[in-house]
Amino acid sequence: MTAKVSRLLTITVAACLLAFASIGHARAVEESPSALAMTADALFARPVLFATTIVGTAVYVVSLPFSLLGGNAGEAGEVLVLGPAEATFVRCLGCAKPGRKEPPLDQDEY
């Protein structure tokens, strides 16, 4: 039993590492969320999206043989793993669109 759990955990971690490789290329977001939006995002949205990422990764791993046979393993990975992971981890707190919030540039830097 523990061997199966260990194998599933290893596969899940490997899939997450492959999925998060493209997160460094996130686009910039220009939003100014309110304190209420940030609080709701931190308390409700992020935990739900994190759970969705975990479930999506599990579904992707289970459906991978069929996706490979159908030729759409990349698309399945993007929809089931990358989409929820990007919404969970690469989105400023309270923002609606995924991406990194860039700090404002100082005029003295130019």
Q: Where are the domains of the chain?
A: 34-98
Q: Output the average pLDDT for the chain.
A: 81
pLDDT tops 70 at residue 5: no
Sign of the Cα pseudo-torsion (4, 8, 14, 15, in order): positive
Least confident interval from 9-13, 18-22, 81-85, 97-101: 18-22
Cα angle for residues 63, 60, 68 (degrees, 5° grid):
50
DSSP line for 1-18: -HHHHHHHHHHHHHHHHH
